[in-house]
Structures are given as C-alpha cells and as structure tokens.
Structure 1
Amino acid sequence: MSFTVNTLRNVTTACQQMRDHIKTIVFRPDAHKTLDITFGPTVAAELIGRTPEALAKAEAKGRLPQPKQLPNGRRFYTLEDLTQIREALGIHVGKQPDEDAVVLAVQNFKGGVGKSTITKHLADYLALHGYRVLVIDCDPQASTTTMFDIQPETLIDDDQTLGAFLSPRSTFSNFAETIRDTPWPTIKIVPSSLGLQDAEWDLTSTLREGGQAVRESLQALRIGIASVTKDFDVILLDPPPAMGFLGLNVMAAATGLLIPVPARQLDYLSTIHFMDTIADNIEILEQNGTPVNYGFIRVVCSTFSPSKPGENDMWRIMQATYAGLLLGQPILASEEIKNATQAFRSIYESKPSASHQTYTRCRDNLDAVFGEVEQQIRQQWSSTSLTGTDAGVSVAA
C-alpha cells in the first residue's frame, strides 16, 4: 500500500473513531439517536390544529386517553401521542389515498448553501405536522443520511441500496426494499451509500448503448419512486452537487424544486449558472423521452444575516429578480442550527443551546419558511388546493 493511500486510510479510521466517540456522548447510553421530544398542551394542540380547550374536552369525554404527566402535574404529549390523537379525532393532514406524493428536490450545485440541513429540517417540520415523509439521499457524501443516524459504511455489503437499484448492472429491482426506518415514526429514508458513486459510472456507461438504454437510465429513480408514491405525502430528494446521471435522475423524478441561495454575491451569481444548467438538462431529458414539468419552483434565501449590510443589499436584489419565486421569509443564520447539526440533530429534535429566546426565534423563523413550502405542497393535491374541494385539513365528523 502506498504512503498516500495508507495515510488517507489512517485518517479515515481516526475520524470514524472520533465520530463514534462523539455519538456516544450525544446519544448515550446506546450511541443511537432516540427522540425525546415532548409537547405541552398548547404546542400539542397547535400541531394537530385544535385549541388546548378542545383537546382537554375530548380527553374529559373519553374520546382521547388522558395525557402523560410530569411529577409536578404538568401534562405533556409525545410525537406518537400526536399521531394517535389525529387518528382518534379523524384528522387527516396529507393527501388522499388516490393522490401521489409531492416529490420535492432541494437542489443547488453551490456548496455551503445549506441543502442537506434544509432537507433534514423540512422533513422534521413536515413530520411534526402530521405528514408521512420519505427522504431519499442521492448525494454520495451522505450528509443527510448521517443526520438520520445511519452510517453509509454499514451499507457496503448490503445489496438492497439505492446504488444497487439505480445501477444498470444490478439485478436488484425492488425500490421499496431500499427504505429504512428513522427515529421519527413518520419519516423513512433511502440512505446514501458508497455504492452511489459506482452507480453514477454504471449509468453513464449507457451512453455507449444509446436509445432505450439511456432513457431507462434517466428514468430509473422516477420509476422506483412511482412504486411507493401512494405510501407517502411528501418525498424529499437531496441531490448530488453536480449534474451527472444521478443529478438527471433527481431532476426527472422531482415534481417540485426548492433552491437554497444565500444572500451573498458569489452564491447569487452561481445560481444564475445553476438555473441555466437545470433548464438545459431538462431539455436533454425531454429530448430523451423523459418529460419534466414541475408543479412549483421556489427559491429560499438561506443562512441570512440581516445585520450584515451586504446581505441586506443582496436580499433586496433577490426580491427584485426572483419575483414570485422567492419565499417571503429567509432562513436566518443561527448558532442554534449549527449546534444542532453538530449533534446530528435538527432544531426540532434539540433543546436550546443558548438562551430560550434565541432558540424560539430560530424555530419560529424555520416554521414560517417551511409553512410557505407546506402551502406550495398542498397546492399540488386537488383535495387540499385552494381550487379543490377542500382547502384545509380534512376532519371526520
């Protein structure tokens, strides 16, 4: 083994050992993430779309079980309790059984824009509000996979992976078997693995065969998702940072696009190239028999620091140039988000790392941003769109 390879292997081993050590501290005692999220009556009622009084009344009448209590007598609810309450009260949040999941790609080629962090936080937000979510990590770097407490290297000998499904050389064809559980009861994940990079090469090799082989390689992910699209409300795609065959698969599978853009000049300018590239590649997909037409495209300003004059200027420029595509709220830069991700968590899984006021401000900001995304998602289903028969949450009588 050469000096270079040996050095890189040693560094990798040392980093993996340190990562595992950090996890034993963060997730002790078993070094695995567990959800210890609880909600008081006010927050629980808000999440299920009721008032605290209505919740208490349903409990008093026996329609709901009595809530858990702390030693001081304060009532609280778990995430599982919220799911059971929705079922007991006939509260249906997502799509109807005959409708398809919204497939949303969170994409930008520029590094450091917060793509994986947004994917993780959006998934948790949607799950808190009662949606069934599937996250598909299509990035070989596997940042989103790691935040859901799955280590990519544990999948090396696993034949039932996304890489195996996408590879034209593989005989594995059951997409549903790539789906794994997460600590969240209503979030599933198709994790990334090292085999995804091999799948990229295998997909690219179909160029030599041309015609039908290329069309099949471009539609592989779309076909896989089609087999589970009735089982989820929202499917979130975390794409690779470049537009190869993996990226084209993501673009072909998505039905909506969310583009994170920090309020910085270089990021803004690079996004011009990104959007042009996306348009070019959609034309390539269509020329190869894979039509693409997104139900919505939205730009979200990420990691925004309003105290920085330069970023305020860029925010105004973004408002002027992105017009109706820009979400009304930017995602504010926050140490709370940084601290949470360092602990392999989202804000929605974490306790305040600084003052409670700072934590609340950060969470309220994310709720406002993702609330806008949620409305775009609901517009894609005829049962919940403003032009459909039911513009709100369906509730049994």
Structure 2
Amino acid sequence: MPSVQKRRHAPFPTPEIGIEEIGQLEEKAYAVIESLRATAFAPGREKQLGLRFSITAAANMVGRSATAIRDAEKSGRLPPPAVDERNRRTGYTLSDINRMRAYFGTLPWRAPDEEPVILAIQNFKGGVGKSTIACHTAQYLALQGYRVCLIDCDSQASSTTMFGLNPDLDLHQEDTLHPFLMLGGQQTLQYALRKTYWDGIWLIPANLALYNAEYELAAQVHGNPLLFNRLREGIDTVKDAFDVIIIDPPPALGMISLSVLRAANAMIIPIPPSTVDFSSTTHFLSMLREALEILDSYGIRAQYKFLKAIASKVQDNKSTHTEISRLMAAVFGDFMIDTKLKDSAEIDNANAKLMTVYELPAPQTSRETFNRCKAYLNAANREIEILIRKTWPSHHEELRQMGVI
C-alpha cells in the first residue's frame, strides 16, 4: 500500500505589531477623543458649565429668600440674571450664586487662620473610583460655595480629562507637577494652577510626564528623604486661596503616592464591595502603614484629621455586594462613610460625555435613575462636607445648631 504523505501547509503569515502600528492606533484614539470634545464642549471645544438655577434653587443655595434676592436686584445691589432673545430669564449661573453669597455673607469659607483640608482620595488599586469621587466631590463642594483646588497626580490624567483638557495634546510637562517635584525646579505651584469652567474650582493638571517623574524622584531621593515633603511644600505655597484641596493620586505605591500620603491631612479610601477589592484594600492598609513607617523613619510624620472608607460601585442586585458591604461596615465601623455610592448608568453615561452627573443637562436614562444617583452622590458628599467643617472651629456653632456635633 503506497504511503500517504501529509501535505505541509505554509505557515499563515502573522503581521508583526511595532512602533508604526501602535502609532497609528494612537492617532485614531486621539481623533476619537477630539471628536468627543468637539461634541461635548462648546464653543470652540472649550468646556463650559451649562448649569442654570431658578430663583427658588438660588434662594436655597444662598440661604436667603427669593424676595430678598429680587429686592437686591431691583435696588441695583445685585445684577439680574441674563435674559434670552425673548427677554426671558435664563436662570442664574454658579458665578451668580457665589456673587449672591458674597453679598449676603453666606459663603461657607473657613476662617483665615484655619487650615484648609488637604483630602487624598487614596487606594493603591486601580479601578476603585478614585477619580470619579475626586471630581464629583470637588464639584459638590464648589456648588456649596467652597474654594476648591483639585490636584491630579495620576499620569493617566482622568480628572484632568474630566475638566475639559486633553492631557497629552493641550498640556506640556511644564504644566503639571513635574517641574516642581524635581530638585532645582519651580519654587511655587502657582505656575500650574488653572481656573476651570466651574466657578470656585482650580485644577493642577496631569499628563504622561508624571510617569517619568516616578523614576526621576526615585533617583533623587537617595540621601535626600526630604523630597517626600516636596508636594506638601508646594501645596503650602497656594493653600491660602482654598478651603479644600483634593488630591487624585496614582493607583500604585510609588514616590508620588508617598508624597501624597505626606501632603494630605485627610483621606477617603474607596472600596468596591467585591472579595478581590476588599482583599486588596486590606493589603492597601498594610502598605499604608508600612509607607507611613517609612516616612516616619525619615522624621516625616503624616497624620490625618479624618480617615474614612467609602463603599463605591455598589450594585444592590448582587448578593455578594450586599454581604461584603455588611462585612465592611462591621470591620471598619466608624471609619466608614454611611452612604454607599451605588453603581449607576448615569455615571457611565456622564463619563461617556466627559462629564460628571452634576453637570449633565438632563437625565441620560430615566429621571428616576438620575435622581437616585444624584441623591447618593449628594448624601455621600454631604458626609464628607461635614467631616471637613468639623476641622474648622469657626463652623462648630452652626454644626451644633444642626445637631451634627
């Protein structure tokens, strides 16, 4: 019987992926981002805040009656809101609200001799919601009338993007923390402060340059541990202008994260209620303690006015989320924020438009879903606001009247 030889097929050519192909992907991705910006921002791809408030909402925010506001406008002590082509009021902007607060003396600023709260939204694990919480908390506080600075320390620059900048097209290395963190660099952070389209919020942006800073700092810190103080020293040069400084750190333990731990005087730890995330947060606490011990060994002591964990990305329809949320409450006790941040399609839809829930012009799913999502965000941020105000003696009398302390 004749032998049967197997026919050998030529190997199927597999294209190799190199620098050129990756560059093409990069260009396509940036084109999509630019398209999103062109759609979401107006005019001229410059992001603006479209929120407008009725006189009833303005009265609630300012803490005065609608009649008092109208009287101040009639007498010329406050400007009336803008009108459209039909001479109808278009509503008050956040700038208008803060002008009213200044006139009526209801701005909630700290006293000049009180320290601003420097709040790190910290967890060394990625994907836990740090940037989402940082941006929503910054905007919530701005809506209440506080002066807020948001410092983006993450080279992924999610917070920077959310505030209308394309990190690697609109920004240079000199626009970020990088020049200040380097030895012999900038001596104040004033150069990096950018006023945002949100009245009351200033941003120190980030881009990929901060990734390089990790290695450069590591090379410089040998024999010079005071570099861990550098971010804190920079914040000291701008802090007098703010009530709250929020830091969005990188999702890893490195030189910048250690600098954030030193710079902050308060901390919120986001924890999604999954077994993996709870376990990683347990490791985070171990790493946090060890990191603080490292700083302490250099004579650099980090202490916090408050430290709280918050359950993030919670899905009530998942039994494991419910069980682990209970476990977290039992383990962390008084160290937990009472309100859970629920996973919501409104947050996802807002992110797709490079927005937060607070700046959505209308519900993206249903009004019920939108209102529920906003209620959870407001409740969680209200707890954080109370924690902040408790650090300022000038607020204690009002907090006592509210029954909070």
TM-fit CA distance, 1:74: 6.2
Matches of 1:392 and 1:50 in 2, distance apart?
21
Write the letter of the residue equivalent to 1:92. L
The separation in 2 between residues aligned to 1:207 and 1:98, in whole angstroms, is 33
The equivalent position to 1:346 in structure 2, one of 336, 343, 356, is: 356
**Cα distance in 2, alignment partners of residues 157 and 69 from structure 1:** 39
Between 1:51-60 and 1:264-273, the stretch displaced more is: 51-60
- Name the counterpart of 2:310: 300
Match of 1:9 among 23, 29, 37: 23
How has the CA–CA distance of structure 1 residues 224 and 283 changed in structure 2, closer, same or farther, with 3 Å as cutoff? Answer: same
In structure 2, what is the equivalent of residue 269 of structure 1?
279
Q: Indicate whether 1:362 and 2:373 are aligned.
A: yes
The alignment's TM-score, normalised by the length of structure 1, stands at 0.91
Equivalent AA in structure 2 for residue 85 of structure 1? M
Q: For the residues of structure 2 that align with 1:157 and 1:124, how far apart are their CA atoms?
A: 25
CA–CA distance in 2 between the matches of 1:227 and 1:207?
22
> Is it true that 1:92 corresponds to 2:107 in the alignment?
yes
Shift of 1:391: 3.9
Aligned to 2:91: 76
Alpha carbons of structure 1 residues 125 and 172: separation in structure 2 relative to 1, 3 Å: same
Residue identity matched to 1:4: G
Q: Is 1:377 the counterpart of 2:392 in the alignment? A: no
User: CA 1:367 to 1:184, structure 2 compared with 1: closer, same or farther past 3 Å?
Assistant: same
2:119 matches 1:108: no
1:138 match:
153
**Letter aligned with residue 102 of structure 1:** V
Query: Does 1:43 pair with 2:57?
Result: yes
Matches within 5 A, 1:1-397: 3-56=17-70, 58-59=72-73, 63-68=77-82, 71=86, 76-154=91-169, 157-168=172-183, 170-208=184-222, 210=223, 213-215=224-226, 217-351=227-361, 352-384=363-395, 386=396, 391=399
Offset of 1:51 from its aligned partner?
4.1
Residue identity in the other structure for 2:370: Y
Q: Which residue identity is paired with 1:308?
A: K
Give unpaired runs (5+ residues) of structure 2. 1-15
Q: Quote how far apart the aligned CAs of 1:4 are.
A: 1.7
Residue by residue over 1:259-282, the C-alpha shift from the partner in whole angstroms, topping out at 9 and shown as x without a partner, is: 011111111111101011111101
Q: Does the CA-based 8 Å contact 1:299-1:326 persist in structure 2?
A: yes
Offset from partner CA, 1:301-352 (integer Å, 9 cap, x none): 1111112222111111111111001111101111111111111111111121
Local SS of the residue matching 1:259 = strand
Offset at residue 156 of structure 1 (A): 5.8
Q: Distance in 1 between matches of 2:35 and 2:106?
A: 42
Greater displacement, 255-264 / 5-14: 5-14
Moved more, 299-308 or 159-168: 159-168
Structure 1 match to 2:12: none
Question: C-alpha separation between the residues in 2 aligned to 1:149 and 1:339?
Answer: 16
2:305 maps to amino acid: G
Q: CA deviation at 1:63?
A: 4.5
CA contact (8 A) 1:138 1:246 kept: yes
- Contact residue 250 and residue 257 of structure 2 kept, 8 A: yes
Report if the CA contact (8 A) 1:132-1:187 is conserved. yes
Q: 1:358 to 1:219 in 2, by over 3 A?
A: same
Q: Secondary structure at the match of 1:92?
A: coil
SS state at 1:281 partner? helix
TM-superposition CA deviations, 1:24-74 (whole Å, max 9, x none): 122244122111110112222222233445444554565433344565956
Q: Residues 114-145 of structure 1: CA distance to partner in whole angstroms, max 9, x if unpaired?
A: 11011011111010100011010000111111
Contact 1:160–1:172 (Cα < 8 Å) also in 2: no
- Relative to the length of structure 2, the TM-score reads 0.89
Residue identity matched to 2:102: E
TM-aligned CA distance change 1:17 to 1:155, over 3 Å:
closer
2:8 aligned residue:
none
Partner AA of 1:382 in structure 2: P
Task: Give the residue type in structure 1 aligned to 2:237.
Answer: S
Question: 2: distance between equivalents of 1:303 and 1:159?
Answer: 35
Cα gap change, 1:360 to 1:380, in 2 (>3 Å): same
Write the letter of the residue equivalent to 1:100: E
User: 1:360–1:5: structure 2 CA closer, same or farther, 3 Å change rule?
Assistant: same
Structure 2: which amino acid aligns with 1:222? R
Instruction: Tell me, yes or no, if the aligned pair for 2:81 and 2:89 is still in contact at 8 Å.
Output: no
Cα deviation for residue 160 of structure 1 reads 4.5
